[in-house]
Amino acid sequence: MDTYSILKDEVLDINRNVGNLFSTAKSIPGMADYSFGEWEKACEQLPRQLAEDIIRVAIVGPI
């Protein structure tokens, strides 16, 4: 496996773990469903973007 494929798999694993954290957080009483909505959408879109070899990045603030 090349370095790109290894890193891609690691990013997808991290993405799955983050998605699971959002699911767990939503199960906490009093935690609104909309709190993580945009983040969940980003997690859902990432596998498709990586399959297309496209990563969209937004930068906020000075670099």
pLDDT in tens, 6-56: 999 999 999 999 999 988 888 888 776 667 788 888 899 989 988 888 777
- Looking at residue 32, what is its pLDDT? 66
Domain ranges of the chain: 3-51
Instruction: Give the three-class secondary structure for 61.
Output: coil
Q: Would residue 51 be called left, alpha or beta, if left means φ above 0 and alpha means ψ between -120 and 50 degrees?
A: alpha
> Are 46 and 11 in contact, with CB atoms under 8 Å apart?
yes
Of residues 32 and 57, more confidence is placed in 57
- For residue 63, pLDDT beyond 70: no
Instruction: Give the three-class secondary structure for 1.
Output: coil
- Looking at residue 56, what is its pLDDT? 74
